[in-house]
A and B are shown apart, each in its own frame.
Chain A
């Protein structure tokens, strides 16, 4: 059964820092991996989707990498801003259920 773990559970950084969020999954037979952002009181917003055949995806200041064989993904945020403060969720699609989520990393960027 697929399990997704995210480390750290919470992270607080000063504005302008570059940071890395980690995601690991137990079953490497995945179709894709997605990173979502969840703001308090709001739904999830998809940030990046990496297909199993891809190594990374970039969108603006965000870069997500995927190492399928080792069951790991990282989300790199460059030059963090207070507006980046949110919970970041990693989710994998393995074909049996639509998405299996991690618990998320709660990020606080302090001005």
Chain B
């Protein structure tokens, strides 16, 4: 079974709709991340969480919110989806040594299309 799973894998929605993307991990990592990837723009950090009580905004958090329901679960919500949120979304986890960021483990991605 995959260590980091994302649901749904594909989603088509309409402008103005609220949607939630979910991420679960079995790696036992404290740190979890949400990224979006667009052609030509690379991976950009939306939100990250160092533990259940710690949520932080990343580079492009506007229009998004997150919830860390448990150590293993981190959800990303689009409160009112707009077409320029069409992208490939990735969840990732990591377990740093001390204050050094180590390897990140990515989920398979959610492809979102906002019409």
To the question of whether A and B form a pair in one complex, the answer is no
Q: Mark A residues whose CB is within 8 Å of B.
A: none
